[in-house]
């Protein structure tokens, strides 16, 4: 799942996970870093090793992948455990991560691949980092391949690329809002993902779509006589805004449709501001699309 | 909690405005609007944006924004300048400023490790935002600098990045790699070489060589960086700086806003105003005032039906925003509009609304 901050990406990931579980799949939801997925799924993270070992698993498992930990684990696997701890303490680990572009992203992808390969798991749903970073994540194999000509990191990069670029194994679900800038960025991200990375797109989810609202008729003489002008003006301003907003959204969604030829799932604006997503409607819509 | 006095008064004694908040809340637009409105009121303003959407860049004056301030209007009493934050070129300028000689600067700028560091070090965007802020704050051309901050979940980076970077450059472990020569340090040379060999085996030899080259070239520059970090921190904490939290009426952006203001407060930096963008305009209170006198005709009830949901939503939004609004002195709500910000006039109107504290405003292009 990818999308810029505030579009309801995490909520959508949580809903998708629940839908998949209801459909009988064994699902791992993955939070990269310290995202809020824990609260939405109402469960504590399970260690990746327990998932891989198939220990008494729920149908819906939450896993947290911390890039720093992934790097420390990698150093440990390479016989650098003591140094790794010292490096973490002195801030040196950060330096190695910086000096080696894409290493953190590659290690995250490595973890995801382990989960994907597990016989105990049917579906891995990743609540990806915000837009720019999500792109860095999926571009990491190519970046690494360009600097590491051989060795373990090179083969990791190749495995990660195979995972990402196989549409039977990986799809990116873009989440957006029906507003000018998010739509524009979604179109750009879609082209980047398909053309530059070669990764398949799943449906695009558009959260927070306004419900249709008819154009406002000017008040009749009767209404004008009954209700003070200030009150009708305020009412009509609000209704006009609702009408115009719905129209503007339709135009934007038409633009999105003509730019990207993948299915869209349009979800209504939530009645209360839970974070911008109506979870019940979302689950319903995903269920319908599944 | 509605309306409020606006920011005009608070701005009078400030020379820096720092807009903070989650991504996607309209921080860039808010910063630009405040800058334009202040310029229209006679200030000489420079707006620093991070990554303006094309429409906003157009609304700011239609010119392409670069990494140096450019005059974008208006032709009235004040001046508006704008620039786009470019972390890489800012970092290059910092290196050139602090280097002992042009040769030292050139050597660092050409180093591949430096080139990666200057774009991908965590917090480098934030550090360069504060660095740019510092530079502009001592620039006589401007009496108000408005800074839009990068959309960062790592809210502390903004204030901590300078310290973090200096700590990083001061890294003792690297010193053992870099300076294994002379006296007692010579004893450390063999383990240092062993360490660098083992590191090279994991991350690649070229990377380790580049890194060592960078730290060698960087010798003696740490002091200037530490000093600058201290100056930036003092500037942010000064009472001539107005920190403005921007949010939308959603739980997550409010939570991020509170996280940021809390973290800043721990570092002695007070957030004194909040702007809530995209709130729902709710005419229900005006209707309710007349409630009992209204005879509900079909025509009226058609209107009321369309407004009830809106009232429920607006109420919920107020509750969501309350913790953030309670934490600051001045609050401003900007209602969501059907059409997006189109032009210079619309941006000026938005800025005027923020400064005057009016929550409804006309935009001139299509709304009404």
B173-187 mean pLDDT: 50
* CB-CB under 8 Å, A130 with B153: yes
**Whether B190 contacts chain A with CB within 8 A:** no
Q: How high is the pLDDT of residue A162?
A: 95
Of the candidates B23, B210, B312, the beta carbon closest to that of A271 is on: B312
pLDDT band at A103 (very low <50, low <70, confident <90, very high): confident
Do B122 and A98 count as a contact with CB atoms less than 8 A apart?
Answer: yes
- B-chain CB neighbours of A90 within 8 Å are 171-173
**Which range, A252-256, B52-56, B299-303, has the best average confidence (pLDDT)?**
A252-256
Residue A232 lies in a domain: no
Range(s) of the domain holding residue A25: 9-210+266-289
| Three-state secondary structure string covering B55-81 | HHHHHHCCCCCCCCCEEEECCCCCEEE
Q: Note whether A83 contacts B195, CB cutoff 8 Å.
A: yes
Give B26-52 pLDDT, tens digit per residue.
888 899 999 999 999 999 999 998 776
Chain A residues closer than 8 Å to B117 by CB:
98-99
Domain ranges of chain B: 8-96+112-160+228-356
Residue B185 is predicted with a pLDDT of: 42
Can you give the pLDDT at residue B162? 67
What average pLDDT does the segment A89-106 reach? 69
Tell me which fold the domain B8-96+112-160+228-356 belongs to: Rossmann fold (3.40.50)
Can you give the pTM of this predicted structure?
A: 0.79
- Tally of domains within chain A: 1
Tell me whether residues B203 and A275 touch, CB distance under 8 A.
no
Let me know if residue A4 belongs to a domain: no
**Alpha helices, H only, chain A:** 9-22, 37-41, 48-53, 67-77, 81-90, 92-99, 103-117, 131-147, 152-164, 180-191, 221-226, 229-259, 279-289
Q: Which CATH number characterizes residue A76's domain?
A: 3.40.50.300
In a domain, A241, yes or no: no
- Within A78-179, residue ranges assigned H as helices are 81-90, 92-99, 103-117, 131-147, 152-164
Residue B361's pLDDT is: 47
Residue A238 lies in a domain: no
Give A133-143 pLDDT, tens digit per residue. Answer: 778 888 888 88
> What ipTM, to 2 d.p.?
0.72
Report yes or no on A215 lying in a domain. Answer: no
Q: How far apart are the first and last CA of chain B?
A: 26
pLDDT for position B252? 80
**Residue pairs between chains A and B whose CB atoms are closer than 8 Å:** 175
Q: What is the pLDDT of residue A75?
A: 74
């Amino acid at each position: 799942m990818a999308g810029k901050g505030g579009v309801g990406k995490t909520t959508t990931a949580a809903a998708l996970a629940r839908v998949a579980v209801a459909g009988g799949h064994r699902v791992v939801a993955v939070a990269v870093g310290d995202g809020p997925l824990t609260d939405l799924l109402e469960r504590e993270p399970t260690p990746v090793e327990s998932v891989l070992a198939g220990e008494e698993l729920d149908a819906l498992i939450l896993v947290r992948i911390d890039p720093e930990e992934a790097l420390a684990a990698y150093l440990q696997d390479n016989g650098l455990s003591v140094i790794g701890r010292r490096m973490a303490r002195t801030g040196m680990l950060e330096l190695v991560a910086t000096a080696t572009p894409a290493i953190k992203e590659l290690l995250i992808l490595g973890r995801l691949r382990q989960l994907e390969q597990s016989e105990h798991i049917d579906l891995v749903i990743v609540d990806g980092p915000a837009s720019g970073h999500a792109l860095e994540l999926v571009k990491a194999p190519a970046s690494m391949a360009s600097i590491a000509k051989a060795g373990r990191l090179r083969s990791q990069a190749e495995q990660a690329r195979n995972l990402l670029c196989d549409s039977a194994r990986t799809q990116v679900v873009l989440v957006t809002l029906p507003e000018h800038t998010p739509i524009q960025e979604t179109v750009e991200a879609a082209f980047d993902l398909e053309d530059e990375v070669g990764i398949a797109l799943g449906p695009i989810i558009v959260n927070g779509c306004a419900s249709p609202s008819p154009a406002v008729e000017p008040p009749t003489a009767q209404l004008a006589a009954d209700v003070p002008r200030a009150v009708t003006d305020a009412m009509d301003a609000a209704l006009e805004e609702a009408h115009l907003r719905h129209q503007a959204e339709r135009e934007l969604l038409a633009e999105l449709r003509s730019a990207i030829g993948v299915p869209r799932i349009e979800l209504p604006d939530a009645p209360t501001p839970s974070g911008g997503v109506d979870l019940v409607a979302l689950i319903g819509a995903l269920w319908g699309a599944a | 909690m509605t309306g409020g006095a606006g920011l005009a008064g608070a701005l009078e004694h400030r020379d820096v405005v720092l807009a903070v908040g989650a991504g996607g809340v309209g921080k860039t637009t808010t910063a630009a609007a405040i800058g334009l409105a202040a310029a229209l009121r006679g200030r000489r303003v420079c707006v620093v944006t991070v990554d303006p959407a094309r429409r906003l860049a157009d609304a700011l004056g239609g010119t392409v924004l670069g990494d140096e301030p450019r005059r974008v209007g208006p032709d009235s009493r004040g001046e508006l300048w704008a620039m786009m934050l470019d972390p890489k070129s800012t970092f290059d300028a910092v290196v050139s400023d602090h280097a002992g000689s042009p040769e030292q600067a050139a050597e660092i700028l050409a180093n591949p490790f430096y080139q990666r560091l200057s774009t991908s070090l965590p917090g480098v965007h934030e550090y360069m935002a504060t660095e740019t802020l510092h530079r502009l704050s001592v620039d006589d051309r401007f009496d108000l600098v408005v800074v839009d901050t990068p959309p960062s979940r790592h809210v502390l980076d903004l204030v901590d990045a300078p310290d973090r970077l200096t700590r990083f450059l001061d890294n003792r472990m690297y010193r053992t790699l870099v300076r294994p020569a002379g006296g007692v340090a010579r004893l450390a040379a063999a383990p240092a070489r062993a360490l660098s060999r083992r590191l090279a085996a994991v991350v690649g030899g070229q990377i380790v060589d580049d890194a060592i080259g960078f730290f060698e070239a960087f010798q003696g520059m740490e002091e200037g960086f530490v000093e600058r970090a201290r100056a930036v921190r003092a500037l942010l904490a000064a009472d001539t700086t107005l920190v403005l939290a921007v949010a939308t009426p959603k739980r997550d952006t409010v939570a991020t806003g509170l996280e940021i203001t809390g973290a800043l407060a721990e570092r002695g930096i007070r957030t004194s105003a909040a702007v809530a963008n995209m709130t729902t305009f709710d005419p229900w209170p005006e209707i309710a005032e007349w409630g009992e006198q209204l005879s509900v005709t079909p025509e009226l009830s058609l209107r009321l039906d369309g407004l009830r949901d809106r009232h429920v939503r607006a109420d919920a939004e107020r509750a969501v925003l309350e913790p953030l609004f309670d934490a600051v002195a001045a609050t401003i709500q900007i209602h969501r509009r059907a059409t997006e910000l189109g032009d210079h006039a619309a941006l000026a109107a938005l800025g005027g609304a923020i400064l005057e504290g009016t929550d409804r405003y006309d935009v001139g292009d299509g709304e009404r």
